[in-house]
Amino acid sequence: MDSLSVVEKPDFGKIISYTNESPVADTAMVKHTISVAPMLDITNRYFRFFYRMLTRHTVLWTEMLHENSIIHSKLGSKGYLKYFPIENPLVCQLGGNDPEKLALCAKICEEMGYSEVNLNVGCPSDRVQSGAFGACLMKDPELVAKIMKKMNDSVNIPCTVKCRLGVDDFDSYEFASNFVKTVSEKGDVKHFIVHARKAFLKGLNPAQNRNIPPLKYDYVLQLKKDFPQLDFSINGGFKTTEQIQGILVEENGLAGCMLGRKAYDDPWQFGDYDRVFYGQKNPGLSRREILENWADFGEYVMKEENPMVCVPTLVKPIINLLSGQRSNKQYRQFLSDPVNFRKVGNFQDFMYNCIETIDKYNPDVLDQRHPTSE
């Protein structure tokens, strides 16, 4: 494997033993029960490293990465796609519409050890539409099938599709069913991750497209009934553990549930997901331990791994760790004020000062932890 493809874990004193586990190598063992959705400017490798202190089994995704960005990156394709080993199981989501380029990108991802690759056929943003990829590709299932067949023929890891239920006025169940039928049969796709609402290509921005079109969970469940040989994961509108458990009941037959904005807005909930959804031991870190680990991690990144990284980039993944707690306002204010970093000039002291600040307002919140097992 190319030496640039993976950033080795630094030898932190406080990073506990579970981060030394080998990344998942057997893709057959990747269980999509819970996934964190690809989110632009959010699910970068720093965010994903943070999430591995909460959950080892949840499937993590990259941001959507365009075919040309990967192939023509100044860092080189493998430098552009580098990640920390503990991020696996990790899916690289690709954007684009060129079968040859996307097949090449898939091959690079396989060589680097990604668990899976995925084609985005659901993003409705103007920038995506101007490049003729994302959600607008749903109107051309034959092209999507051609792309997926080329990708599947190029690699041995799974190639999946993330899509909507429809686009604009193409929103009947028959449209969604025909899309799945065409892409699965001609593109050899066995797993569809479905955002259970349609996309409007005009008139709504991406945030509105996540909320205004009505959710149709029944369409996704019907797709599973009509295509029992395929795997379907469901995405859209899930906010609580109870909602997720309700949709993942055995009789629905779904492969998993994907969480997007909720994963960013309230990450602490994921600290109990290995136990609840995978029957495995939780990492069991307290918020204090997570922030202490993050202090060491951020210091390593800024001094050794990526000296060009800025403090807000390292703050963003952890900004909602105290969501819903009494000291959340003070926590966010401290992390967001650049004066607090300039006072000390290094990330470790900055984070430890943050911890001391929260201890003044809510001394118990940082020591809360999820049970490691039943």
- What is the CB-side half-sphere exposure of residue 306 using CA atoms within 13 A? 20
For residue 89, say if its preceding peptide bond is cis, omega within 30 degrees of 0: yes
Q: Note the pTM of the prediction, 2 decimals.
A: 0.90
Q: Spell out where 175-307 has E strands.
A: 191-195, 231-235, 256-259
d(CA 233, CA 38): 14
- Give the strands of the sheet with 34-36, arranged side by side: 34-36, 256-259, 231-235, 191-195, 159-163, 116-121, 90-95, 60-66
Which position among 92, 109, 123, 159 bears the catalytic label?
A: 123
* Cα radius of gyration rounded to whole Å, the chain: 21
Question: Which residues of the chain, if any, have pLDDT below 70?
Answer: 1-29, 74, 77, 124-134, 202-207, 209-212, 374
Query: Would you state the pLDDT for residue 11?
Result: 43
User: Contact, 149 vs 110, CB < 8 A?
Assistant: no
The domain limits of the chain are: 17-278, 287-367
Structure tokens at 328: 């959340």
Question: For tokens 């909930």, what's the residue?
Answer: 269
Which of these CATH numbers, 3.40.50.1360, 3.40.710.10, 3.20.20.70, 2.115.10.20, describes 17-278?
3.20.20.70
Query: Would you state the pLDDT for residue 210?
Result: 66
Q: Spell out where the chain has E strands.
A: 34-36, 60-66, 90-95, 116-121, 159-163, 191-195, 231-235, 256-259
Is 123 known to be catalytic? yes
DSSP letter for 199, please: B
Short-list 218, 210, 255, 269, CA closest to 236: 210
Query: Would you state the pLDDT for residue 213?
Result: 78
Short-list 287, 290, 341, CA closest to 313: 341
Identify the helix (H) or strand (E) that includes residue 218: helix 217-226
Query: Would you state the pLDDT for residue 29?
Result: 60
Query: Would you state the pLDDT for residue 136?
Result: 84
CB neighbour class for 92 (10 Å; exposed up to 12, middle 13-18, buried from 19) = buried
Question: Cα 103 to the chain's mean position, in Å?
Answer: 21
Spell out the long-range contacts of 329-338 with Cβ–Cβ below 8 A and sequence spacing 24 or more: 330/357, 330/358, 330/361, 331/357, 331/358, 334/358, 338/311
User: Contact, 51 vs 36, CB < 8 A?
Assistant: yes
Count of Cβ atoms closer than 10 Å to residue 231 Cβ: 18
Structure tokens at 161: 């599709």
Structure tokens at 91: 């899916």
DSSP letter for 24, please: P
Query: Would you state the pLDDT for residue 17?
Result: 38
Can you state the percent helix, strand and coil of the chain, rounding each to 5? 50, 15, 40
Query: Would you state the pLDDT for residue 19?
Result: 40
Q: Could you give the 3-state DSSP secondary structure of residue 337?
A: coil
Give the model confidence (pLDDT) of 150-168 as tens digits: 999 999 999 999 999 998 8
Length of the chain: 374
Beta bridge partners of 95: 66
Phi/psi region, residue 312 (left: phi>0; alpha: psi -120 to 50; beta: rest), is alpha
d(CA 179, CA 229): 16
